[in-house]
Amino acid sequence: MAFEFTDANFQTEAIDTKNVAVIDFWAEWCGPCRMITPIIEELSKEYAGKAVIGKVNVDQNPEISMKYNIRSIPTILILKDGEVVEKHVGTISKPALADKINAHLS
């Protein structure tokens, strides 16, 4: 299962980490969000130990959503060394997202 980022753990798990962090901002009521959930789940397993891949429920974690100015979902942020290095709004294919992740792995 993909990691669950929350307002409480985001600093430690996404910003302070030296890994690449991939964060999918989503909500249960969002159809396109549900479409990419299996992709996020698969990639979280495939990149275990290389990148932290997880989800932020925007309804339950408004602080993170506001901090990163999330206006549309799904939005995927890729952070490296705590800084946003990539932002994708909308659905995305698994190969395309994997390419984006690979581009930021050192």
pLDDT (tens place) for every residue of the chain, 106 residues total? 789 999 999 999 999 988 899 999 999 999 999 999 999 999 999 999 999 999 999 999 999 999 999 999 999 999 999 999 999 999 999 999 999 999 999 7
Of 27, 30, 89, 98, catalytic: 30
Of 2, 22, 23, 33, catalytic: 33
Rg (CA), the chain: 12
User: The whole model's pTM is what?
Assistant: 0.94
- Three-class SS of residue 33? helix
Q: In the annotation, is 33 catalytic? A: yes
User: CA 18 → CA 3, 30, 83, distances in Å?
Assistant: 16, 31, 11
- Straight-line distance from the first to the last Cα atom of the chain, in angstroms, rounded to the nearest whole number: 24
**pLDDT computed for residue 38 by the predictor:** 96
H helix and E strand count, the chain: 4, 5
Task: Specify the fold of 3-101.
Answer: Glutaredoxin (3.40.30)
Could you tell me how far CA 50 lies from the centroid of its own chain?
A: 14
